[in-house]
């Protein structure tokens, strides 16, 4: 198998703009990324940095009325950017989505077991209720929910937030996806529950061999998910990748001033220092970062233009 065949996601110079055609505003500025089976790419940055817009656009789920330039391939298939927020590429079985708020992503009118069965039917084409229920119960057990049979019959409102998110993960895994996009999957949960959810995603990607795009502003969650050799961190600021490299290298040897400032805001590190850092406005508001340049082996940084 060649390296190209092993690429689960290949994004080249992706740009996303919003507007009426006459006055488009570009919000994602030429991002490239390659993800392989079993590999985590953390997309790390503050809220509003373009993380979700980039990740969804990369698989053809670009927001309505957006304009996407560049190219993207999922498992070798080209993504079609239709500008209407549609699944242009048709990658339903190859891509699993885990959303930020499990309450909003689950239908309150249906039992969670029925929702998992529907996802299984959509991804496998199997219409036998008995077979789908058996598969659904196995998925519920795989996301570490005790008494799968009891959980199968519950409505979303009868579950805790952590259980609802586990059900959302089970639905995302129904089609044995090769790529999982986890969009702030722990931010709507209590801290301890969020840690369990992130660890669960990590375990599932190891078992399934799925690539993961993990979108987060939570540095602690990023450290938990990206701890395998080959895992990478991509730091976004105002729609631009400003630093990218192996997770251990980014966490231990950040070179971009924004990444350094962002990591300094991590509460656990602040306790060690006795002070909580903030990202200076002159860094946060700077839009003059150049292209990514390899400054150390496999470690890429976009420095200020002219610096």
Strand blocks (E) in 92-193: 95-98, 179-183
Considering the chain, tell me which residue range(s) the CATH 3.40.50.300 domain(s) occupy: 3-94+177-301, 95-176
Identity of the highest mean pLDDT range in 41-45, 59-63, 264-268? 41-45
Tokens representing 182 are 């986890």
pLDDT digits (tens, 9 = 90+) for 73-127: 999 888 887 654 444 445 567 899 999 888 888 999 999 999 999 999 988 877 7
Across 147-164, average pLDDT: 95
Give me the pLDDT at residue 21, please. Answer: 67
Tokens representing 216 are 């987060």
Q: What is the DSSP letter of 209?
A: -
> In a 3-state reduction of DSSP, which class is residue 213?
strand
Tokens representing 279 are 């990202």
Q: Are 33 and 11 in contact (CB under 8 A)?
A: yes
Return the CATH fold of 3-94+177-301. Answer: Rossmann fold (3.40.50)
* Domain 95-176 CATH (choose: 2.60.120.960, 1.20.1250.20, 3.40.50.300, 3.40.50.150): 3.40.50.300
Q: What average pLDDT does the chain have?
A: 89
Q: Are 186 and 198 in contact (CB under 8 A)?
A: yes
Q: Is the pTM of this model over 0.85?
A: yes
Tokens representing 265 are 């805001």
Please calculate the CA angle 161-164-167 and round it to the nearest 5 degrees.
155
Tokens representing 280 are 């200076």
pLDDT digits (tens, 9 = 90+) for 238-282: 999 999 999 999 999 999 999 999 998 887 766 666 667 788 899
Tokens representing 126 are 């199997």
């Amino acid at each position: 198998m060649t390296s190209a065949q092993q690429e689960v996601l290949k994004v080249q110079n992706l740009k996303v703009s919003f507007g009426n055609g006459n006055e488009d505003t570009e919000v994602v500025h030429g991002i490239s990324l390659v993800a392989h089976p079993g590999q985590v790419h953390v997309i790390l940055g503050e809220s509003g940095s373009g993380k979700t817009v980039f990740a969804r656009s990369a698989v053809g789920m670009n927001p309505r009325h957006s304009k996407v330039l560049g190219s993207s391939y999922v498992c070798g298939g080209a993504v079609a950017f239709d500008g209407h927020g549609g699944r242009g590429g048709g990658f339903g079985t190859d891509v699993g989505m885990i959303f930020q708020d499990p309450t909003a992503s689950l239908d309150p009118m249906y039992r969670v077991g029925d929702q998992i069965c529907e996802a299984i039917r959509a991804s496998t084409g199997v219409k036998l209720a008995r077979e789908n229920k058996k598969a659904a119960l196995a998925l519920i057990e795989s996301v570490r929910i005790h008494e799968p049979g009891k959980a199968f019959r519950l409505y979303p409102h009868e579950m805790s937030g952590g259980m609802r998110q586990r059900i959302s993960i089970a639905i995302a895994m129904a089609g044995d996806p090769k790529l999982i996009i986890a969009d702030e999957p722990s931010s709507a949960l209590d801290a301890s529950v969020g840690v369990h959810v992130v660890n669960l995603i990590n375990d599932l990607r190891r078992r399934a061999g799925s690539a993961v795009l993990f979108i987060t502003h939570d540095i602690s969650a990023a450290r938990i998910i990206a701890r395998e050799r080959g895992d990478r961190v991509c730091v976004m600021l105002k729609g631009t990748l400003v630093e990218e490299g192996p997770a251990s290298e980014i966490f231990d040897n950040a070179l971009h001033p924004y990444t350094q400032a962002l990591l300094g805001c991590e509460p656990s590190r602040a306790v060690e220092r006795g002070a909580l850092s903030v990202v200076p406005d002159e860094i946060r508001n700077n839009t003059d970062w150049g292209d990514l340049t390899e400054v150390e082996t496999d470690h890429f940084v976009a420095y200020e233009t002219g610096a």
